[in-house]
């Protein structure tokens, strides 16, 4: 390096003379001005004596005739000139080879990143949201499979010995009318989500059969009036008569006959499947997309006069659920399965012509209703009363409802209870 200490230049002498001179020299006392190598390196003005080897090399005969040239530094050796000569082209070529080789190595021998396996916790999949559609029967959201199954109509008794009935709170639509002797009876219509205890089941009547046909429903009953049984055969009704299908019904011991015949929706659905009664094809009632209660309600209290105090019907508006709590014979109408009061979303009174038919075995007259044609209807929902008209074209068609201008009258989704009355005077309401 440029700061290295260089040897002092001395006159050339023979090796022998130099050795002799050293042998004759007496030891020199310690020099008070002696400096360490570090001290010498720190000073640029002091020259150091040549070592023995350097002296011997300078006195060799081969070099005695030539003056000693100072060594060339590495900077001087690498100093290039312009225009380039042979040395410069060699240096340039070597540099390019080194650079090219380095790039080739870097491109072909690059270090691949180390891939470390990281445990990732799989997020739990959210359960698929159920897809629902409006029920053809009630308008409520149901699994689409429900609409692919049958609608089942069941005749339910309403005598004093039959109360409280089982399963009425699960019905989607209920028709109410007088059977005979002033005793009312129900046609309860279910989709395939009905209860496991249903009854007591009683006999068929022609008007109930016609209402059931509007829903293309299977029809569960225990025998029936002569006219009803003849109509079932002639109209091609999906018959589920207990007399011919006793295995689908049971008689309970806690009630006396004939008020003790019960069934279940499971048993009736199995019977329908066995008979090949599949999907019910019908047009349901026009339903609202969303209910909206009136503020304030204008029809909080509803009364239907039937045949007398034991069968007259009363409803009280329930603003909490926007429904109507039902009473019959002056008592809350309960479901034996739940112990709760029946409370349909929609209450309807249809005004029909009522007459007396033939006598039954007990000497009472069968009721005869004119179920086809049209007449006055009163629809109670959202705490209000709407007057309009009902229409049923024929025995197999669906009953429909329209407002006073003739437009379809949409009903709230949920249970709909339809009662047949013989005159408009049999219907009253109060705010």
Same domain, 141 and 205: yes
Same domain, 305 and 397: yes
Residue 351 belongs to a domain: yes
Residue 124's pLDDT band (boundaries 50, 70, 90)?
confident
Residue 3 belongs to a domain: no
Q: Which two tokens stand for residue 220?
A: 């569960």
Q: What is the mean pLDDT of residues 330-358?
A: 96
The H or E element that residue 228 is part of is: helix 226-235
Residue 347 belongs to a domain: yes
* Of the ranges 41-55, 88-102, 307-321, the best mean pLDDT one: 307-321
- CA 166 centroid distance within chain: 34
Residue 192's pLDDT band (boundaries 50, 70, 90)?
confident
Residue 211's pLDDT band (boundaries 50, 70, 90)?
very high
Residue 193 belongs to a domain: yes
Same domain, 308 and 269: no
Q: How confident is the model at residue 52, as a pLDDT?
A: 37
Same domain, 206 and 308: no
User: What is the pTM for the complete model shown?
Assistant: 0.71
Same domain, 318 and 422: yes
Residue 97 belongs to a domain: no
Residue 336 belongs to a domain: yes
Same domain, 399 and 359: yes
**Helices and strands, number each (H, E), in the chain:** 9, 21
Same domain, 162 and 198: yes
Same domain, 355 and 399: yes
**Closest listed residue to residue 19, CA positions, set 56, 54, 61, 49:** 56
The H or E element that residue 22 is part of is: helix 15-23
Q: How confident is the model at residue 361, as a pLDDT?
A: 78
- Maximum alpha-carbon separation in the chain: 172
339-352 CB burial, b ≥16 within 10 A, e <16: eebbbbbbbbbbbb
Q: How confident is the model at residue 358, as a pLDDT?
A: 84
Residue 198 belongs to a domain: yes
Domain that includes residue 264, residue range: 133-275
Same domain, 260 and 305: no
R_g over Cα of the chain: 56
Who has greater pLDDT, 263 or 123?
A: 263
283-312 CB burial, b ≥16 within 10 A, e <16: ebbebeeebebeeebebbebebbbeeebbb
Length of the chain: 431
Backbone angles phi, psi at 141, to 5 degrees: -70, 130
Q: How confident is the model at residue 227, as a pLDDT?
A: 95
Q: What is the mean pLDDT of residues 137-152?
A: 96
Domain count for the chain? 2
Q: How does pLDDT run across 16-46, given as a tens digit for each residue?
A: 444 444 544 444 444 444 444 454 344 444 3
Same domain, 139 and 254: yes
Q: How far is CA 45 from CA 3, 6, 36, 41, in A?
A: 11, 11, 15, 10
Same domain, 352 and 426: yes
Residue 125's pLDDT band (boundaries 50, 70, 90)?
confident
Upstream peptide bond of 296 is cis (omega within 30 degrees of 0): yes
- Alpha-carbon torsion angle 57, 62, 65, 67, nearest 10: -40
Task: Give the domain CATH number at 361.
Answer: 3.50.90.10
Same domain, 392 and 267: no
For the chain, the average pLDDT equals 83
Residue 148 belongs to a domain: yes
């Amino acid at each position: 390096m440029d700061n290295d200490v260089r040897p002092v230049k001395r006159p050339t002498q023979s090796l022998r003379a130099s050795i002799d001179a050293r042998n004759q020299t007496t030891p020199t006392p310690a020099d008070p001005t002696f400096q360490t190598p570090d001290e010498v390196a720190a000073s640029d003005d002091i020259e150091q004596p040549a070592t023995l080897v350097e002296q011997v090399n300078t006195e060799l005969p081969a070099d005695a005739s030539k003056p000693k040239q100072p060594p060339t530094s590495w900077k001087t050796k690498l100093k290039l000139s312009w225009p380039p000569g042979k040395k410069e082209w060699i240096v340039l070529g070597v540099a390019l080879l080194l650079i090219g080789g380095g790039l080739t190595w870097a491109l072909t021998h690059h270090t691949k990143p180390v891939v470390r396996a990281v445990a990732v916790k799989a997020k739990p999949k959210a359960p698929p949201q159920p897809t629902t559609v409006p029920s053809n029967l009630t308008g409520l959201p149901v699994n689409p499979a429900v609409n692919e199954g049958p609608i089942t109509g069941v005749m339910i008794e309403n005598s004093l010995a039959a109360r409280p009935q089982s399963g009425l709170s699960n019905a989607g639509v209920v028709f109410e009318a007088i059977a005979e002797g002033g005793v009312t009876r129900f046609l309860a219509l279910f989709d395939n989500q009905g209860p496991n205890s249903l009854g007591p089941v009683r006999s068929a009547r022609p008007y109930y059969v016609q209402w059931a046909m509007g829903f293309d429903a299977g029809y569960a009953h225990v025998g029936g009036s002569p006219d009803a049984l003849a109509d079932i055969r002639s109209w091609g009704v999906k018959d589920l008569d207990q007399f011919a299908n006793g295995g689908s019904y049971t008689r309970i011991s806690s009630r006396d006959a004939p008020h003790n015949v019960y069934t279940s929706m499971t048993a009736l659905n199995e019977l329908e499947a066995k008979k090949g009664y599949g999907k019910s094809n019908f047009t349901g009632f026009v339903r609202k997309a969303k209910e909206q209660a009136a503020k304030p309600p204008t029809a909080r209290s509803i009364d239907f006069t039937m045949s007398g105090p034991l069968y007259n019907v009363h409803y009280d508006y329930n603003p909490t659920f926007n429904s109507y709590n039902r009473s019959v014979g002056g008592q809350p109408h309960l479901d034996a399965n739940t112990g709760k009061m029946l409370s349909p979303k929609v209450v309807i009174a249809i005004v029909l012509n009522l007459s007396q038919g033939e006598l039954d075995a007990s000497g009472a007259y069968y009721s005869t209703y004119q179920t086809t044609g049209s007449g006055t209807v009163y629809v109670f929902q959202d705490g209000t009363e709407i007057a309009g008209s009902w229409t049923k074209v024929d025995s197999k068609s669906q009953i429909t409802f329209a407002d006073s201008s003739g437009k379809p009258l949409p009903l709230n989704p949920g249970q709909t209870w339809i009662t047949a009355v013989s005159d408009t005077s049999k219907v009253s309401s109060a705010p």
